[in-house]
């Protein structure tokens, strides 16, 4: 199966990540959630904001939008890396 076909079938492709079995789609979404948190942490550090004290940083809709916009490209990354490791 070529890469483009695998990306289209990402909800049917199982991958192993740190001992966990999940679909490429689910792995991509989890990775994007973590990526969004890292971006928030870096931005807060640049602005000298302590996220332990400042709770207004939690913007679930903004994070959801970011994840939705980046899902296809992250799926491509997951599928390509999975293909290389096979």
| Confidence (pTM) | 0.80
pLDDT at 19: 84
**Rounded Cα gap, residues 33 and 63, in angstroms:** 7
Which residues are within 8 A (CB) of 9 and not within 5 positions of it... i.e. 6 or more apart? 1
Low-confidence ranges of the chain (pLDDT < 50): none
Helix axes 60-85, 24-46, angle to 10 degrees: 130
75 closest CA partner among 26, 22, 20, 17: 26
Task: Tokens 């959630």: give the residue.
Answer: 33
pLDDT at 3: 65
CA distances from 37 to 6, 48, 57, 64 (A): 28, 16, 10, 12
């Amino acid at each position: 199966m070529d890469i483009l076909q695998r990306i289209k079938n990402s909800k049917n492709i199982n991958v192993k990540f740190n001992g966990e079995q999940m679909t490429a789609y689910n792995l991509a979404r989890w990775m994007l959630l973590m990526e969004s948190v890292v971006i928030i942490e870096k931005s807060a550090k640049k602005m000298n904001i302590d996220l332990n004290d400042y709770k207004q940083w939690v913007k679930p809709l903004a994070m959801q939008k970011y994840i939705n916009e980046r899902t296809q490209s992250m799926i491509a990354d997951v599928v390509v890396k999975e293909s290389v490791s096979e």
